[in-house]
Amino acid sequence: MYEDLINTGPVFRRKHMWKIKVPLKIKNFMWFVQRELILTKNNLAKRNWNGCKKCCFCDKDETIQHLFISCPFAALIWRTVHVAYNLPPPTSIPNLF
């Protein structure tokens, strides 16, 4: 509890993320997203990748924030989740978890 009070939410959430009953691949993916380590096009460009940096679904630069939150396709999926499960759409990557 002391650790949770000192550090804002992410430390607490990281501990419980590994106890969720989902396949290990999904846990790893969630960990990568939470740490913003997914190889989106802007992360690939930082590693000297020379491809197009635009999102496949729209004409904006692809970042983790864009891909999971602000892209129109992601917004459509989050609206569907909201209607189906009454979960509010996330506003940021930390809010996603």
Containing structural domain, residue 25: 1-35
54 and 91 part of one domain: yes
55 and 88 part of one domain: yes
Residue 58 CA to residue 27 CA, distance in Å, equals: 28
CB atoms within 10 A of CB 24: 8
93 and 78 part of one domain: yes
54 forms bridges with which residues in the sheet? Answer: 61
Does 61 score more than 60 pLDDT? yes
Query: Which pLDDT tens digit goes with each residue over 64-89?
Result: 999 999 999 999 999 999 999 988 88
Per the structure, the count of domains in the chain is: 2
Q: What is the pTM of this model?
A: 0.70
78 and 97 part of one domain: yes
- Within 8 A by CB and 6+ apart from 61, the residues are 41, 42, 53, 54, 55
Query: Which pLDDT tens digit goes with each residue over 4-32?
Result: 555 555 544 566 778 888 899 998 998 88
pLDDT value for 77: 93
